[in-house]
Amino acid sequence: MTARNTVALFDAPMKISPTISCGRIGRATAIAFAKDGARLVVSGRRETEGKALEAELRGLGAEAAFIQADVRRDDEVRELVDQTVGRFGRIDAAVNSAGPAGQRGLVVDQSVESYAATFDTNVLGVLLSLKHELRVMTAQKSGSIVNISSTYGHEGAAGASVYVGSKHAVEGITKSAALEGAVSGVRVNAVAPGPTDTGMLDRFTGNPQNKAALASTVPLGRVGKPDEVAQAIVFLASASASFVTGQVVSVDGGKTAG
Ligand SMILES: NC(=O)c1ccc[n+]([C@@H]2O[C@H](COP(=O)([O-])OP(=O)(O)OC[C@H]3O[C@@H](n4cnc5c(N)ncnc54)[C@H](OP(=O)(O)O)[C@@H]3O)[C@@H](O)[C@H]2O)c1
C-alpha cells in the first residue's frame, strides 16, 4: 500500500471508551492502514466516537475523515461512498466490518425481530456496502474489498444460529461478488476471525469464565488480538494479494483447523 492509496473503512470502530477502545477490529484496522500511509475514511453510526477516531488517525499523520452512516440504509451508504470519492477521487480498498453479535438463543426462541437485528446489518449491510463500492471500483477497473466473516461463517454453533447464518451469508456473498468483480480487476475477499478480544466478545461470552472457556478451545491457547485480524485485512487489501480473490482467510489461532 502506498501513500497515494485511499482506503474507505466502512463501519470501522465505534464507541471508543476507556475499557474497549483499544480492542476493536475496525479501529485496529484503521490504525494499521494509517501507519501504512493510506488516506482513510472511517464510518459508523456514532459521531462523537467517529470524530475521536478521525482525530486519532490524523495524530498518526494520516489524512482521515469520519462520515456517519448506518449500513442498513441504502441512501446513507450511497452518500458515504459518493462523499469518499468526492473527497479523494477514488477508492482503492474498502473494509466492511460493521456487525452486531446478535442475541444468543436457541432456534426455537428466535423471532422476526431477532433475525432482523442481526441480518439487517451483517447481511443487508454487507450487500449494500458491496453494491456501492463495486459501482465505484468496477468503473475504476481496480480495487480490493475485504468483508469480515467469522469462524461461524463456515461452522455451526448451538445457541448462535442467527449470527452463524448471517456470517455464512457473508461468505457466499463474498464469493459471488468476487466472481462479478473479477472481470473488472476488482478483488473481494473475507477475513474470518476466531474469538478476538473486543467488546463484542465480552458481550457474546457474558462473563470472564465463559471467555476463558472459549479461549481454551483455541489451539494457540488464547483469543486473538484485533491487530492480528487487522494485519490480515491490510494484506488482502494490498497489492501483495494481487492474485487472491473470492477467498476466506481465517485468523483464528487454529480453531477451525481440526
Ligand atoms: N470479536 C470477535 O470475537 C469477532 C469474531 C468473529 C468475527 N467478528 C466480526 O468482526 C467485526 C467487528 O467486530 P468487533 O469485534 O470489532 O466488534 P465491535 O467493536 O462491537 O464493532 C462492531 C461495530 O459495528 C458497528 N455497527 C453495528 N451495526 C451497525 C450499523 N447498522 N451501521 C454501522 N455500524 C454498525 C458498531 O457500532 P455501534 O456502536 O453503532 O453499534 C461497532 O462499532 C464484526 O463483523 C464481527 O461480527 C468479531
Instruction: Answer yes or no: 163 catalytic.
Output: yes
Helix or strand run (H / E) with residue 66: strand 64-68
What is the mean pLDDT for each group of 10 consecutive residues in the chain (258 residues)? 52 33 73 89 90 94 91 95 89 91 90 96 96 95 95 96 97 98 98 94 90 95 96 93 98 96
- Nearest C-alpha neighbor of 43 from the set 89, 2, 91: 91
| Rounded-to-integer distance, Cα 50 and Cα 56, Å | 10
Our CA angle for 197, 200, 206, nearest 5°, is 95
The answer to whether residues 154 and 249 touch, using CB atoms and an 8 Å cutoff, is no
Rounded CA-CA distance 41/129 in Å is 14
Q: For ligand 1, what atom is nearest to the CA of residue 121?
A: 31
Contact 170, 153 (CB under 8 A): yes
Using the CB atoms, write b or e for 29-66: b if 16+ within 10 Å: bbbbbbebebbbbbbbbeeebbebbbebbeeeebbbbb
- Cα separation, 155 vs 165, in Å, equals 10
Residue 12: φ, ψ to 5° = -60, -135
Tell me how far apart the alpha carbons of residues 249 and 182 are, in angstroms, rounded to a whole number: 18
| CA angle, residues 165, 168, 172, in degrees to nearest 5 | 135
Q: Is the pTM of this model over 0.85?
A: yes
Residue 191 backbone phi and psi in degrees, to 5: -105, 135
Ligand 1 centre and the CA of 11: distance in Å? 8
Count other Cβ atoms within 10 Å, centred on residue 109: 11
Closest CA to 94 of 18, 39, 50: 39
What pLDDT was estimated at residue 211?
A: 94
Q: What atom of ligand 1 comes closest to residue 152's alpha carbon?
A: 6
Q: What does each C-alpha distance from 73 to 85, 97, 126, 178 come to in angstroms?
A: 19, 15, 11, 23
Euclidean distance between CA atoms 197 and 214, whole angstroms: 11
- The tally of CA atoms less than 13 A away on the side-chain side of residue 257 is 9
135 C-alpha to ligand 1 centroid (Å): 24
Candidates 163, 228, 250, 252; catalytic one: 163
Q: How far is residue 156 from each of residues 130, 159, 204, 231, measured CA to CA in Å? A: 25, 9, 15, 26
Nearest CA to ligand 1 atom 24: 98
Distance 244 CA to ligand 1 centre (A): 25
Per-residue model confidence (pLDDT) at position 16: 32
Q: What is the pLDDT of residue 122?
A: 95
What is the predicted pLDDT for the residue at 101?
Answer: 73
Ligand 1 pocket, Cβ-based, cut-off 6 angstroms: 11, 13-15, 24-26, 44-46, 70-72, 97-100, 121, 125, 148, 150, 193, 195-196, 198-201
Residue type, 30: A
pLDDT of 7 reads 60
Residue whose CA lies nearest to ligand 1 atom number 45: 99
Please identify, by atom number, the ligand 1 atom nearest to the C-alpha of residue 151: 6
